[in-house]
Amino acid sequence: MTRQPSQNRKENNEKLVQAEELFKAYMKGNAMRCTTERIIVLREIYKTGSHLDADEIFVRLKRKGLSISRATVYHTLDLLFKCHLVTKIDLGHKHTHYEKAHGVANHLHIICEQCGKVVEVTSNELAELLEKLCEANGFALGSFSLQVFGKCIDDGKECGKENHQSE
């Protein structure tokens, strides 16, 4: 089953508010200054609901007239990862992509290695299988984010579109 692309707006907003609270509490607990810049980076990720890389976030903010340095974006992503508010994913590019984690179900990413299309899939069967595999190997399943690479099929034909985003 594919996750709805446009989740309930109100629900999304609640998740964002909760994520902000968690982030503020994390920074406070680690004696860090809770700067507006850091909150802006968090909001950008939670509002887009997509898989962005650090540079994309930097460019999006810049276009909005928000001058936040690349270093701050990278550092903030690091902090957000440490407090489990974002997950890192590998889309087969040379850099890491990030996505929101709070209130998001564990899912699988199926990525077209030709054009870069990404589809998110949530599957209870897969979660059960992973749980069993973890158990059999002496683990309790935590969270997961999986990537599978393939070629998308359009009209029975394998994708032939070049991916221009894989630099």
3-state helix, strand, coil in the chain (%, to 5): 40, 20, 40
Under rule CB under 5 A, residue 73 binds Zn ion: no
Give the residue at shortest CB distance from Zn ion: 159
Q: Are 86 and 99 in contact (CB under 8 A)?
A: yes
Residue 34 marked as a ligand binder: no
Q: Nearer to Zn ion by C-beta: 50 or 69?
A: 50
* Binders in 25-44 for Zn ion, by CB under 5 A: none
In this structure, the number of other CB atoms found within 10 A of the CB of residue 36 comes to 9
Among 27, 43, 93, 122, which residue interacts with Zn ion (rule: CB under 5 A)?
93
Q: Is 112 annotated as a binding residue?
A: yes
User: How many residues lie near Zn ion (CB under 5 A)?
Assistant: 10
Binding of Zn ion by 54 (CB under 5 A)? no
CA-CA distance, 54 to 131, in Å (whole number)?
32
Both structure tokens of 48: 């887009």
How many residues in the chain? 167
The Cα–Cα gap between 32 and 25 comes to: 10
> Should residue 59 be labelled a site residue for Zn ion when binding is judged by CB under 5 A?
no
Considering the rule CB under 5 A, would residue 115 count as an interface residue with Zn ion?
yes
126 binds Zn ion (CB under 5 A): no
> Segment near Zn ion (CB under 5 A), from 13-21, 38-46, 61-69, 152-160?
152-160
Helices (H), 30-122: 36-48, 54-63, 70-82
C-alpha span between 49 and 63 (Å, rounded): 18
Q: Which member of 16, 38, 53, 98 binds Zn ion (CB under 5 A)?
A: 53
Region of 13-21, 42-50, 87-95, 133-141 interacting with Zn ion (CB under 5 A): 87-95
**Residues in contact with Zn ion by the rule CB under 5 A:** 53, 93, 99, 112, 114-115, 117, 120, 152, 159
